[in-house]
Structure 1
Amino acid sequence: MAVHDENSEIDDIRDALVRVVAEWTSGELQVKVAATVDDSLDAAETRALYLVGMNGGALGFGQLAERAALSNPTTSKLISRLSAHGLVDRVRSGRTVEVLLTAAGAETYARLVAAGQQMVGGALSGWEPEEITQFHLHLSRFVAALPRATRAAASPTPPEPVSPLQEES
């Protein structure tokens, strides 16, 4: 009988997630996806459009810089390029700047999302509907728990791990 090694399974899950993130965010993939939508976009521009679009079409300058892991000067240049493409507008309100998708930016974002859906659909090709439903449920639960787990991992004394049975009660 095989011995259940929870640490090994967690290592395997972590490794799989790192591979997913590396694949999904690779500059090469971003450029390929962008080329199907607008071949003038580079990887950074594509990522910025995703980030602004995922936030309802508006995102503060500082939030965009933080989420894209870019310096303020690099973010400013990026926004200038997107603005030159007619995809975003900068709106200043006092000391803050908000980055807003234009109508063309919203359309480009929608096409990027459709290309991403096609990729996910391709990866799920051959899965049974029940498997897709279960994957969605488990992944949603995992994503919902990430902020708490991230804060706990960053604290000086991480709390004791919670078993799945304790989490559900």
Structure 2
Amino acid sequence: MASVIPFKDHALARLRARLGAVEEANQDLIAFARGHSGAVSAIHEAVLAAIEADSVDDLLHVVTQEWPLILGIDAVALALIVGDKAFRADGNGIHEVEPQLLLRSIERVEGVSMRKVEHGHPLFGPACDLIRSEALIRIECDPPLPVGLIALGQRSELDLDARHGSELLMFLGRSLAAIIRRWLVNPDN
């Protein structure tokens, strides 16, 4: 004797499960879009603040003091090799560094490097012990202009979206390189 199999209940349960998964994915996508939009806005605001700097000293202040607030991070350091000297600027001021050590750090970064760390990059100075997530952004200018790194640090471990985040950070680095070129090639403008 044949029996009738009730597919309706099973199909309805599968449909509800799939609908729940789609709703969850949709919420994740909305959260990502809002976060990405906020990151784009913060990067643009940081670049505009740097463009408005009136001098190299003002630019260093903007990068090391204002960018952490604008970008919602804990620490920013900028390190440059200028001629045969190297320095880093952070929240505690400007400090000389060994050019060869900085050059080795620059060579290890191709564009942007984002990672979770136990201990931040030495460019953060005394704050390096507190850093758990960092992004290193290469600053490239043609010789004889400086080359260097921007170090962005966060005390908390963050899940880093390498593809989208690196594009934004690359824009930040290229913008800062253009501003540095402007100040060093045409300091009166």
TM-score of the superposed pair, with normalisation by structure 1 = 0.32
Bigger Cα Rg = 2
Structure with bigger RCO (C-alpha 8 Å, 6+ apart): 2
TM-score of the superposed pair, with normalisation by structure 2: 0.30
Q: Which has the higher helix share?
A: 1
